[in-house]
Amino acid sequence: MASDQDPPRSAFGASPPGGHRQRPGRAGSAAAAGLKLTLRTALATAVIVGLGCVPLIAALLNQPFYVTLFTRILIFAIAASGLNLILGYGALVSFGHAMYLGLGAYAVGLLGHHGITSGWAHVGAALVAGTVVAAGVGAICLRTARGGGGMAFIMITLAFAQMLFFLFVSLREYGGDDGLPVATRSDFGLFSLASNVVLYYTAYAVLLLVLFFFWRLIHARFGMVLRGCKVNERRMAALGFPTLRYKLAAYVLSALVCVLAGVLMANLTKFVAPSYMAWSVSGELIVMIVLGGMGTLIGPVVGATALLMLEEALSSLKIGIDAVDRLVNQHWLALIGLFVVAVVLVLKQGLYGRLVARDAREEQRGDRHEERHEERQEERREGASR
């Protein structure tokens, strides 16, 4: 798999206009650099492989709770990856993506309440509802905010999320603020999510598919245009790209990934409630992205894993000193806040993003050194020919 932030060839797949031609002697070194095992590659591989082994480790340790905990981590990693598409690559800060998580969850809850247990029906209804809402909300937000992000986009997405939140609070026949239990998990015919292990590996497969899809997307023309809009949207528009359409498409795709995460969340908790759509959930997704690294493929996964594991560890920490145990268990949110602030101040690009930035700097230094070496060789050859 290519790196998270490979230099774009261009939106058309050719060398960038005005860019220098690659010298023949550098092809071998570029291939060698691609094969070199970097720390970020090792971390990404360890995270993905480790997540795949969780049910086996839980069975060996006789701790089924680990499967439930890491299923939750996978679901939030999926949702954070979806939001990262517009936040990390498009610079669109949305405080309303929790409503898509809630839409996916309520698709399972409402259909299950009326006796429909087909997983395909749940996913289909969730995606249709998510597409309609995301297309309408995204079009209004992007046009009102003049196609860009900033405070206007943040506040409008937050307003729509709160509107949907209070809409579901008012549905008293479906539990209102108290929520709605899900009697039966989704059944897809070939397999059912009734088993926790099956649900885990379903969430794991969805995460892998989302990561692969986004990797292809951000290295395709669509991703190049989206990243170009992040840097200078006016220039991209001057080049003839319909930037509003690209950003709206990215917003809808981002929302649909969160919808899928909501479907899985309802199956995990067997319960849906308007609290899934609360603005604080959107804030948690943003924190996960910032913690792991914005604009990186694996960063949201690393951020979700770190945040939720730290949350679980601090809320149940027992070191044998009653006063300390009570302080940590009751005020674990404050400790997590200090941890996030420390990461933002010390590792400005996030836990995984720092590794990506470091590797990028090393590659640039290596390229400059190689260019100087080749220039000296050319000077020597020119002197010898004279």
Region 49-70 average pLDDT: 94
Q: With the CA atoms of 303, 306, 312 and 314 taken in that order, what torsion angle do they form, in degrees rounded to the nearest 10?
A: -120
> Phi/psi class of residue 231: alpha, beta or left (left: φ > 0; alpha: ψ in -120 to 50)?
alpha
What are 10-21's pLDDT values in tens digits? Answer: 433 333 333 444
Q: ∠ CA 123-105-55 to the nearest 5 degrees?
A: 80
pLDDT at 373 over 80: no
Q: In 3D, which of 172, 168, 109, 84 has the Cα closest to residue 133?
A: 168
Q: In 3D, which of 196, 216, 225, 200 has the Cα closest to residue 78?
A: 200
CA pair distance 239, 229, nearest whole angstrom: 11
What are 114-135's pLDDT values in tens digits? Answer: 999 999 999 999 999 999 999 9
Q: Which of 42-51, 95-104, 318-327, 362-371 has the lowest mean pLDDT?
A: 362-371
CA pair distance 182, 105, nearest whole angstrom: 10
What are 229-252's pLDDT values in tens digits? Answer: 988 888 999 999 999 999 999 999
Residues forming beta bridges with residue 118, ordered by sequence position: 187
pLDDT at 315 over 70: yes
Distant-in-sequence, close-in-space partners of 303: CB < 8 Å, separation ≥ 6 = 80, 287, 288, 289, 290, 291, 292, 293, 350, 351, 352
Which residue type, as a one-letter code, is found at position 327?
L
For the chain, what percent of residues have pLDDT higher than 90?
60
Q: Are 68 and 196 in contact (CB under 8 A)?
A: yes
pLDDT at 188 over 60: yes
pLDDT at 96 over 70: yes
Per the prediction, the chain carries an average pLDDT of 85
CA pair distance 129, 256, nearest whole angstrom: 9
pTM summary value:
0.84
Distant-in-sequence, close-in-space partners of 7: CB < 8 Å, separation ≥ 6 = none
Q: Write out the DSSP string of 128-169.
A: HHHHHHHHHHHHHHHHHTTTS-HHHHHHHHHHHHHHHHHHHH
Which residue type, as a one-letter code, is found at position 296?
T
Joined together, the tokens standing for residue 201 give 């590996």
Q: Are 103 and 124 in contact (CB under 8 A)?
A: no
> Phi/psi class of residue 311: alpha, beta or left (left: φ > 0; alpha: ψ in -120 to 50)?
alpha
Indicate the length of the chain as a whole number: 386
90 against 32, higher pLDDT: 90
> Looking at residue 26, what is its pLDDT?
43
Which residue type, as a one-letter code, is found at position 5?
Q
> Looking at residue 378, what is its pLDDT?
75
* Burial class of residue 295, CB neighbours in 10 A (0-12, 13-18, 19+): buried
Q: Please report the sign of the dihedral spanned by the C-alpha atoms of residue 219, residue 221, residue 225, residue 231.
A: positive
For 271, phi then psi, to 5°, come to -165, 140
Q: In 3D, which of 49, 165, 196, 34 has the Cα closest to residue 97?
A: 165
Region 42-60 average pLDDT: 93
The three-class DSSP label of residue 198 is helix
Q: Which of 39-53, 193-207, 350-364 has the lowest mean pLDDT?
A: 350-364
pLDDT at 31 over 60: no
Q: Are 123 and 263 in contact (CB under 8 A)?
A: yes
